[in-house]
Chain A
Amino acid sequence: MSGDPPIRVVLAKLGLDGHDRGLKVVARILRDAGMEVVYLGLRQTTETIVDAVEQEDADVVGISMLNAGHLTLGPRIVDALAEAGLDVPVVIGGIVPDEDRPALADAGVAGVLGPGAPTDEVVAGIRDAVAARGR
């Protein structure tokens, strides 16, 4: 909280998945924790998210997924960010079975936040993902 600029986080729902209640709660949690939230909302694609990260100079991306597409779409967005030359961590929130977490970590996903994650866990999850990139 010192003189550091606030963390800029892009939040989005990826693909065809209208369950945005959780992501909106997360947006408010991060905003109240002093972060700058760029809320893209529903039905985003890998391309729109990468564009937003670039334009908004974001430090971290939060993707909400409750459509079981995380193993396909999670790695895809990590790769797309890397291809665009953006060293920005991706945190996935939503319904992710524990057994899928290692595969996501291997694919470069920086963190996974499950349903009902308490406020401080959400904030720490985002802060840790950013800190791990040495910002």
Chain B
Amino acid sequence: MDDRRAGTPGRGGVRHLDELGEGSLLEGVYAAIESGWFVGEIADAAYRYEREVNAGDRIVVGVNAFTEGNDSRQADLLRIDQETEDLQRRRLDAVRRSRDDQAVVASLSRVAAAAAEPTTNLMPALLEAVSVRATLGEVVDVLEGVFGTYVERTVV
């Protein structure tokens, strides 16, 4: 098994990252994340894998070899129905009605302040927010407001 398949970029990849970072591997990694190089490599490797399985060059037992005994019986599926969603929405509404909104607002602004300060430990502010029943969505919205969100770079 070569090092590419072991999930590391391999010597060629490391050289590429080193060049990208002008001698700093770490800077090269940042640049490669930004440029979409890693996700591109992963996608190319996935495509290579699929073609190998398709062509029979890579054997996957039960998929492209020794498939006798595969049956089409469908497993019992857990289905999440509308009633489950309605129930959860009611529970969320109940939490929102029963909590101290001012405490929630204050705790969320402390989360925002802590998030904006790179050397501050976020965890105490997060614990305070959830202890006054700020919702996951509210906390994430605040963090997204500070950090931004993942923007995919198209690499096809």
B50 near A119 (CB under 8 angstroms)? Answer: yes
User: B residues within 8 A CB of A43?
Assistant: 152
Interface residues in A, total, Cβ within 8 A: 20
**A69: nearest residue on chain B (CB-CB)?**
B80
**Interface presence of B84 (CB below 8 A):** no
Binding site for A on B (CB under 8 A): 42-44, 46-47, 50-51, 53-54, 63, 72, 74, 77, 80, 150, 152, 154, 156
- In chain A, positions 67-101 with a C-beta closer than 8 Å to chain B are 68, 97-99
User: A residues within 8 A CB of B47?
Assistant: 24-25, 28-29
Report the bound CA distance from A11 to B156 in whole Å. Answer: 11
A116 near B63 (CB under 8 angstroms)? Answer: yes
**B63: nearest residue on chain A (CB-CB)?**
A116
Most chain A Cβ neighbours within 10 Å, of B63, B72, B80, B156: B156
B43 near A21 (CB under 8 angstroms)? Answer: yes
**Interface presence of A127 (CB below 8 A):** no
Least CB distance from B137 to A in Å reads 12
B43 near A98 (CB under 8 angstroms)? Answer: no
Among B50, B54, B72, B152, contact of A41 (Cβ-Cβ < 8 Å): B152
Least CB distance from A68 to B in Å reads 7
**B77: nearest residue on chain A (CB-CB)?**
A97
Q: When A and B form their complex, which 4 residue pairs have the shortest distance between CB atoms, in order from nearest?
A: A24-B43, A39-B156, A28-B47, A41-B152
**Interface presence of A118 (CB below 8 A):** yes
